[in-house]
Amino acid sequence: MLFSPLEIEQTLRMFAEQNLDVRTITLGINLLDCIDSDARKAAGRVYEKITRVAANLVRTRDRIQAELGVPIINKRISVTPVAMLVGASQNGQSRESSSVPLIFAEALDRAARETGVDFLGGFSALVHHGITPAEESTIRALPTVLATTEFVCGSLNVASSRVGINMDAVNMAAAAIRETADRTRDRGGFGCSRLVIFANAPEDNPFMAGAFHGPGNPDTVVHVGVSGPGVVQSAIRRMPDAPLEQLAEEIKKTSFQITRLGQLVLDKASALLGVVPGIVDLSLAPTPAVGDSVARILEEMGLESIGVPGSTAALALLNNAVKKGGLMASSRVGGLSGSFLPVSEDEGMAAAVERGDLTLEKLEAMTAICSVGLDMIALPGDTPVDTLAGIIADEMAIGVMNHKTTAVRVIPVPGKNAGEWVEFGGLLGRAPIMPVHRGSCSAFVRRGGIIPAPVTSFRN
Amino acid sequence: MRAVCTVVGKDKPGIIAAVSTALAERSVNILDISQTIMQGFFTMITLVDLGGMSISLETLRQDLDSLGERVEVTITLQHEDVFTAMHRV
């Protein structure tokens, strides 16, 4: 036999008992060749190109899944940041009331439905340097787009380590989150789950809601994102008394195996779709299912709960070991590639918040190490816009000063207070609403302007 | 394509016969076979060649699932590449 019974048993357990799967195949599509001064013509081309290029995406996912016997959960599309297309069609329309972004959003939503994907990301604007009229129109359209479309996801890059934090963009992002929550109040502010505010956004991220096809990419490209927190947790459970460097070693090996699986799926998807291979994102993406939690990995290491002292150190060990193992498994590691710490999408995170063991402030400290920042966090419905801007600015500062990606995906749940639960359903899960510090940062954030880049960014 | 077909369940007479007959009836060739008891469970591991298979992969999976239910074992079929990727550097 080519493989030992132990190897085969280990693999079977990973899939059957430890929730191992490939989280997503994401097809990136450049839409810059669709531009036209007439927005409707351009939107028609957008629909045509996406439905043509992604025609076989779902079928390809099904075929790989059947051939390999490996579950592949999501199939997604990421596109060129829409603000770039809006710019070509704006024709002097007012930036406050332009209909152009909505025309594109409608075409994107229809294309997503036609191709059968789960999400389409890229209703985005890169505004860390400043905001063009087309980008302003796009940001202003976000609440309507997120309230009226089913599949479209949006993101804004408001900060980078090269240029600093654009506080005008941060304030606009906070206002967009607030309005999106109000526009989707019947679903607990659900629309905010499809909007991510970034510092140092990666151009090749396969995970939603922050995926977009950055301008540095080829015309089409396919990316893969893995999962597997349950596998890492099981590996650690087998070593209750081991010193920490041995845990790190075991996590590295496990991450290597998981990422190799992602690389295998990427190679097959690339060949079948006839699209150049992009990256494998080695992030351990959790789900609300029991046994698929990043929080529980840290607790398996010996913390009574995620959020207690030691949590940041444990996360550092995990994140570092996951990267070292994954980097050896694939030459094309990219995207976010770290640990995800979403509250509603991770059963262990939500439980820790409910017990009062995990606060927003401790979570923010932990995001200095994880790869996505404050993710899927439900906040009180009456959280002021300026406080949202302050929360975003803090998270952007962590990313900018540490030369890493950070992001904010928060949901101020209309009509609900701290401690109450909100249900989003499916992979988005459920979460208790976290209390927010009541002190005001209004006078600070309303100054606007740019928080300059760190001295470490001047490397030329 | 070659795949690893694994059968796990409570040990009883006739499991190997049932599974290998089902595979033979569908022109699935067994290249290698081993059987062991792991943690109290009967475990049969076969490396199979699906190249000459008389039915579609989807139908084979359905057939193996219903056979598994009947014989009260879990039958899993995964591409050889999955194991190579995860266990060979």
List of chain A residues whose C-beta atoms are within 8 Å of the C-beta of residue B8: 12
Position A363 scores a pLDDT of: 97
Q: Which of residues 253-312 of A touch B (CB under 8 A)?
A: 257, 260-261, 263-264
Sole residue written with tokens 């195949």 = A25
pLDDT, average across residues A223-241: 95
If we measure between CA atoms, which residue out of A18, A26, A122, A146 comes closest to residue A74? A26
Domain A220-383+410-452: which CATH class?
alpha beta
Question: Does A444 lie at the interface with B, CB-CB under 8 angstroms?
Answer: no
Q: Which of A107-111, A150-154, A259-263, A370-374 has the lowest mean pLDDT?
A: A370-374
Cross-chain residue pair A69–B77, CB shorter than 8 Å: yes
pLDDT, average across residues A422-434: 92
> Is the pLDDT at A1 greater than 70, yes or no?
no
> Is the pLDDT at A5 greater than 70, yes or no?
yes
Name the average pLDDT for chain A.
Answer: 95
Sole residue written with tokens 């081309």 = A45
| Token pair listed for A90 | 């704006």
CA–CA dist A190, A284 (Å, integer): 24
* Minimum distance, in Å, between the CA of residue B62 and any CA atom of chain A: 11
Chosen from A6, A8, A256 to mutate, greatest number of chain B CBs within 10 A? A8
Q: Using one digit for the tens of pLDDT, what is the confidence trace for A357-406?
A: 999 999 999 999 987 899 999 999 999 999 999 999 999 999 999 999 99
CA–CA dist A449, A440 (Å, integer): 19
DSSP string, A33-55: GG--SSHHHHHHHHHHHHHHHTT
pLDDT, average across residues A185-191: 95
Position A95 scores a pLDDT of: 78
Position B87 scores a pLDDT of: 94
pLDDT, average across residues A158-179: 98
Burial level of A334, CB count in 10 A (0-12/13-18/19+)? middle
CA–CA dist A154, A166 (Å, integer): 18
SS (H, E, C) A57-76: HHHHHHHHHHHHCCCEEEEE
> Residue B52 is part of a domain; what is its CATH number?
3.30.70.260
CA–CA dist B28, A24 (Å, integer): 31
| Token pair listed for A283 | 């992030």
Please give the residue range of the domain that contains residue B67: 2-87
> Is the pLDDT at A165 greater than 90, yes or no?
yes
If we measure between CA atoms, which residue out of A228, A208, A242 comes closest to residue A285? A228
Cross-chain residue pair A5–B1, CB shorter than 8 Å: no
Question: Does B3 lie at the interface with A, CB-CB under 8 angstroms?
Answer: yes
Say which of B32, B43, B57 has its CB closest to residue A67. Answer: B57
pLDDT, average across residues A13-31: 94
Q: How many CB atoms lie within 10 A of CB A110?
A: 18
Position A156 scores a pLDDT of: 98
pLDDT, average across residues A189-195: 97
Position A459 scores a pLDDT of: 84
Say which of A9, A16, A260 has its CB closest to residue B85. Answer: A260
If we measure between CA atoms, which residue out of A154, A92, A93 comes closest to residue A126? A154
Residue A178, φ and ψ in degrees, nearest 5? -55, -50
Q: Which of A91-95, B7-11, B46-50, B70-74 has the lowest mean pLDDT?
A: A91-95
Question: Does B37 lie at the interface with A, CB-CB under 8 angstroms?
Answer: no
> Is the pLDDT at A279 greater than 90, yes or no?
yes
DSSP string, B5-37: EEEEE---TTHHHHHHHHHHHTTPEEEEEEEEE
Q: What percent of chain B has pLDDT over 70?
A: 100
Question: Does A238 lie at the interface with B, CB-CB under 8 angstroms?
Answer: no
pLDDT, average across residues A33-52: 97
**Which residues, other chains included, contact A407 with Cβ-Cβ below 8 Å and sequence gap of 6+?**
A155, A196, A197, A198, A199, A201, A210, A372, A373, A374, A375, A395, A399
> Is the pLDDT at A172 greater than 80, yes or no?
yes
CA–CA dist A13, A234 (Å, integer): 10
**Which residues, other chains included, contact A139 with Cβ-Cβ below 8 Å and sequence gap of 6+?**
A83, A125, A127, A131, A156, A169, A172, A173, A176
pLDDT, average across residues B76-82: 95
pTM of the model: 0.95
Position A87 scores a pLDDT of: 94
Query: In chain B, how many domains are there?
Result: 1
Question: ∠ at Cα A32 (A30, A34), nearest 5°?
Answer: 105
List of chain A residues whose C-beta atoms are within 8 Å of the C-beta of residue B32: 1-2
Q: Using one digit for the tens of pLDDT, what is the confidence trace for A54-90?
A: 999 999 999 999 999 999 999 999 999 999 999 999 8
pLDDT, average across residues B34-40: 83
**Phi/psi class of residue A130: alpha, beta or left (left: φ > 0; alpha: ψ in -120 to 50)?**
left
Position A258 scores a pLDDT of: 96
DSSP SS3 for A421: strand
b/e per residue A338-358 (b: at least 16 CB within 10 A): bbbbbbbbbbbbbbbbeeebb
pLDDT, average across residues A275-285: 94
Cross-chain residue pair A69–B82, CB shorter than 8 Å: yes
DSSP SS3 for A376: strand
CA–CA dist A13, A15 (Å, integer): 5
ipTM of predicted assembly, 2 dp: 0.90
Name the average pLDDT for chain B.
Answer: 93
pLDDT, average across residues B16-45: 91
pLDDT, average across residues A429-456: 96
Q: How many CB atoms lie within 10 A of CB A87?
A: 17
b/e per residue A230-269 (b: at least 16 CB within 10 A): bbbbbbbeeeeeeeeeebbbbbbebbbbbbbbbbbbbbbb
Say if residues A138 and A85 touch (Cβ distance below 8 Å). Answer: no
DSSP SS3 for A142: helix
Q: Radius of gyration over alpha carbons of chain A, in Å?
A: 21
Q: Radius of gyration over alpha carbons of chain B, in Å?
A: 13
